[in-house]
Amino acid sequence: MDTLSGSSRSLREAFSLARTTVHSRHGAHQITALHETRRQLSPIAQEHGDQPQPEIPVYAPPTSGLLSMVPKSWVPYAELVRIDKPTGTYYLFFPCLFSTLMAAPLTDPITTPATALGYSLLFFSGALIMRGAGCSINDLWDRNLDPHVTRTRLRPIARGAITPFKGLVFTCFQLLAGLGVLVQFPFQCLFYGIPSLLFVGSYPLAKRVTYYPQFVLGLTFSWGAIMGYPALGLDLLSNVPALTSAACLYASCVSWTVLYDMIYAHMDIKDDAKAGIKSIALKHDADTKKVLSGLAVTQVGLLAAAGYAAGAGPMFFLGSCGGALASLGFMIKRVNLKSVKDCWWWFVNGCWITGGTISLGLAADYVIRYSKREGKLESAKSDPEE
């Protein structure tokens, strides 16, 4: 019996070895055939401009740039607030700057350049803090979605470097810091600033229920277009020109936000479709440039209406409105929506090209109007009859 059992076991081992050898050879033939097929298809893919499938990224601690100078234990939190990617902060700040420069000539006496600059710097600090808080809230909402998107799977909460509880506590501290900045403004700004938190918290939810979460993001990121007016002491409820100007400027900035975030959304369009994340890029993929063109015209038209209500001069209409229309038209024509790298380039640089152009036009208009007002005051002082 022992001999028979040993012989049977030997036969089984021999058959198993033979089967493994056959499978290994078959697998080797398959791998060789796969590489051969890829080699043959590579020129075809290049000819048609197809992008190769992205490799799954592996996290590596930062060795250069701003994050490399941060203590290791702080790196996940610095990544959470995107401190190494400040473009979002700039996009949040520009509407604040627009409204400050547009509101400054409406005050009586006219706002001094020092005051306008001081509030602009205060707005920038608030934008830096609140953009970080918005990123934290977004990542907490998306902690189960981010691992399925190539670009976001290594975010600190998604990869487990920060627990959701620690992320929540950190977010609370950020919001308190934002409140600390807000109370530096005139008291009435509290009534205008606090409601924006509703949009900050609801944007991540929007992309689960609608194809237009970019509109909700626009309502959030454009809130600063209202804040410059009360910051400089203008009561929007009793000042019709200021209210009209603020409403048109806010709507203009919402259009701008939807425009640039639609380009941004094209970077994740394939992963979003797989993960079930909704976006305007998915909804209008075939007609994106038509939608972008419509948004650009809407943005510039509303910007012009805001300037008209505020009594802006030719420098604003030529510099801000004309410059914005030219820069947006050029971007829409040139951006390659099928290229992640190109979409990212225009998202980053379009911020400065369009936002900077609008700001320069507003600043020039403000300086001209300030100089004229000061000139009239000097003339009145020098004329004893007046």
Identity of residue 275: A
Separation of alpha carbons 302 and 227, rounded Å: 17
Q: Which residue has the tokens 């081992």?
A: 13
Separation of alpha carbons 346 and 260, rounded Å: 8
**Quick one: which of 305, 299, 342, 345 has its CA closest to 323?**
299
pLDDT of residue 20: 45
pLDDT of residue 385: 56
Neighbours of 364 (CB within 10 A): 18
Separation of alpha carbons 132 and 126, rounded Å: 10
Whether the CB-CB separation of 266 and 309 falls below 8 Å is answered with: no
pLDDT of residue 55: 59
pLDDT of residue 246: 97
- 287-328 tens-digit pLDDT: 899 999 999 999 999 999 999 999 999 999 999 999 999 999
SS3 (DSSP) at 152 = coil
Domains of the chain (ranges; CATH) run 70-373 (1.10.357.140)
pLDDT of residue 175: 94
- DSSP of 67-131: GGGS-GGGHHHHHHTTTT-THHHHHHHHHHHHHHHHHGGGSSSPPPHHHHHHHHHHHHHHHHHHH
Number of H helices, E strands in the chain: 16, 0
SS3 (DSSP) at 28 = helix
pLDDT of residue 26: 43
Higher pLDDT, 10 or 143: 143
User: How buried is residue 10: exposed, middle or buried, by Cβ count under 10 Å (0-12/13-18/19+)?
Assistant: exposed
- 336-360 tens-digit pLDDT: 999 999 999 999 999 999 999 999 9
**Quick one: which of 276, 280, 281, 362 has its CA closest to 317?**
362
Separation of alpha carbons 159 and 335, rounded Å: 32
Residue 85 has pLDDT above 60, yes or no: yes
**Quick one: which of 110, 306, 148, 105 has its CA closest to 222?**
306
- 233-291 tens-digit pLDDT: 999 999 999 999 999 999 999 999 999 999 998 888 877 777 677 788 888 878 899 99
Residue 16 has pLDDT above 80, yes or no: no
Q: Which residue has the tokens 């308190």?
A: 176
Separation of alpha carbons 363 and 274, rounded Å: 45
Q: 354 to each of 63, 313, 322, 362, how far by Cα in Å?
A: 33, 19, 10, 12
pLDDT of residue 150: 81
pLDDT of residue 372: 87
Half-sphere exposure of 351 (CA within 13 A, CB side): 19
Separation of alpha carbons 366 and 86, rounded Å: 27
pLDDT of residue 30: 41
pLDDT of residue 378: 65
Whether the CB-CB separation of 268 and 237 falls below 8 Å is answered with: no
- 141-195 tens-digit pLDDT: 889 888 888 888 899 999 999 999 999 999 999 999 999 999 999 999 999 998 8
Q: 248 to each of 99, 147, 237, 386, how far by Cα in Å?
A: 11, 39, 15, 38
pLDDT tier for residue 41 given thresholds of 50, 70 and 90: very low
